[in-house]
Amino acid sequence: MSAAYAVLLVDSTSHAIRIEKALVRAGIACRLIPVPRQLSSDCGVCVRVRQEDSAAAQELAAAAGVKIAGFRLLS
């Protein structure tokens, strides 16, 4: 069985990097990935976290001053 993930979509690569740094400092596993095709045909990156960490990731993004453009669960 594969793990369930969530992706945080942001407006720029710099925002994704800012979220990634905040998550790493907080000890939350994350990865910058290309935005999945099923979510957007635009180029760009998003932040992938485990589904169980998604609420904490959204809180940390807000604390870092980054507006989340979208949030999706993936499996």
* CATH topology assigned to domain 5-74: Alpha-Beta Plaits (3.30.70)
- Give pTM, 2 decimals: 0.85
Distance, in Å, from the CA atom of 6 to the CA atom of 57, rounded to the nearest integer, reads 10
What letter would DSSP give residue 41? S
Order of all β-strands in the sheet with 5-9: 30-34, 45-50, 5-9, 70-74
- Please check whether residue 3 is in contact with residue 48, taking contact to mean a CB–CB distance below 8 angstroms: no
Q: What is the pLDDT of residue 39?
A: 73
Residues of the chain short of pLDDT 70, as ranges, are 1-3, 40-43, 75
Which pLDDT score, from 0 to 100, does residue 14 have?
93
Give the closest residue to 10 by CA, choosing from 50, 53, 38, 40: 40
Phi, psi at residue 27, to the nearest 5°?
A: 80, 20
Question: Domain map of the chain by residue range?
Answer: 5-74
